[in-house]
């Protein structure tokens, strides 16, 4: 998963702004999902 995230960032770095905000939201959702999964376990 880390490699995919890095590739996304590199792809969107060419057009910063809305894309970077979108990436931050995606990463934030993934972190929330991981923390929820850890809490359930």
Task: Give yes or no for residue 41 having a pLDDT over 70.
Answer: no
Contact (CB, 8 A) for 9 and 23: yes
In this prediction, what percent of the chain has a pLDDT beyond 90?
5
* CA 39/CA 10 separation, integer angstroms: 32
Q: Which one is predicted more confidently, 14 or 28?
A: 28
Torsion sign over Cα 37, 26, 6, 1: positive
Is residue 8 scored above 70 in pLDDT?
Answer: no
State residue 2's pLDDT score: 58
The residue extents of the domains of the chain are 2-40
- The model carries a pTM of 0.41
């Amino acid at each position: 998963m880390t490699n995919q995230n890095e590739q996304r960032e590199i792809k969107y770095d060419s057009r910063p702004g809305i894309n970077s905000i979108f990436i931050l939201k995606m990463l934030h959702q993934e972190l929330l999902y991981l923390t929820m999964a850890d809490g359930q376990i």
